[in-house]
Amino acid sequence: MNFDFSSLNFETLDANVNAYPDLFVNQNGVTFTRKVLEDLGYPAYVLCLLDPKARVFAIRACKSNEAKGFKFSKPKGEQKGVVTISNKNLLDPLRRVIGEEWVSGKRYKVRGFWVADAKTMCFDLNEGVQEDFRSNTQESSAE
């Protein structure tokens, strides 16, 4: 096969960064993509915010000494991947808001949106999309 490689106009793709600020919720925790971390500026601490009636979850960077501040990310150069939080104080209220609509044992993706004037990343839980989750070989009996 005769192929002229020099005629191609390649664009370098960055496979290290997620294109979207997504949140994943499953049985064991809440995972934030690197794009969420990037958009928030890799904050060491965040406030986790929840409006149960509107079913919107949000995170906003805060100072380490702020009441209810939650340890979140390492600095940009040190944070190697996503951030997963498995704290029941976050998971339980989220699960209550999500309710029966989301199937236990499944993974759900929620696309985040940035609210610039509030410097907050928001996730509308009404928009959650069920994904096929990689099944674990060992089933977790604790729930």
pLDDT in tens, 42-82: 999 999 999 999 999 999 999 999 999 999 999 999 998 89
Cα–Cα distance measured from residue 47 to residue 34, given in angstroms and rounded to the nearest whole number: 18
Residue 98 lies in a domain: yes
Helices (runs of H) and strands (runs of E) counted in the chain: 2, 9
Residue 141 in this model has a pLDDT that exceeds 50: no
Average pLDDT over residues 96-109: 83
Cα–Cα distance measured from residue 34 to residue 87, given in angstroms and rounded to the nearest whole number: 19
Please give the tally of structural domains in the chain. Answer: 1
Cα–Cα distance measured from residue 78 to residue 73, given in angstroms and rounded to the nearest whole number: 9
Query: What is the structure's pLDDT at 48?
Result: 95
Residue 13 in this model has a pLDDT that exceeds 80: no
Residue 7 lies in a domain: no
Q: Which domain holds residue 55?
A: 20-131
Residue 118 lies in a domain: yes
Average pLDDT over residues 102-126: 90
